[in-house]
């Protein structure tokens, strides 16, 4: 598992983020405070506080391609 901090501070960023991670078959969790949601759920993402960075857990050992695809969002 790999953990990174990401920023999704606009509606367009949220939509493009979900489209990017939907290409991968891995599980992704977004963690904000005590809330953990599926990162592929656009409605779940909008339930979080998007004004501050959010922790993204990538559930795979080979996360290099994912990290490269998500580079614009990583803080």
How high is the pLDDT of residue 58?
Answer: 96
- Determine how β-strand 35-38 pairs with β-strand 27-32: antiparallel
Going residue by residue through the chain, which has 75 residues, state the pLDDT in tens, using 9 for 90 and above: 999 999 999 999 999 999 999 999 999 999 999 999 999 999 999 999 999 999 999 999 889 999 999 999 999
Within 10 A of 62 (CB to CB), how many other CB atoms are there? 9
DSSP secondary structure letters along 8-65: --SHHHHHHHHHHHTTS-SEEEEEETTEEEETT-HHHHHTS-TTS-EEEEEE-S--HH
Domains of the chain: 2-73 (3.30.1340.10)
How high is the pLDDT of residue 51?
Answer: 93
How high is the pLDDT of residue 73?
Answer: 96
């Amino acid at each position: 598992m790999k953990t990174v901090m990401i920023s999704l501070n606009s509606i367009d960023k949220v939509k493009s983020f979900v489209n990017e991670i939907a290409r991968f078959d891995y599980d992704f969790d977004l963690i904000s405070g005590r809330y953990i949601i599926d990162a592929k759920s656009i409605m779940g993402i909008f339930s979080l506080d998007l004004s501050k960075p959010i922790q993204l857990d990538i559930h795979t050992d080979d996360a290099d391609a994912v990290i490269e695809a998500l580079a614009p969002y990583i803080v």
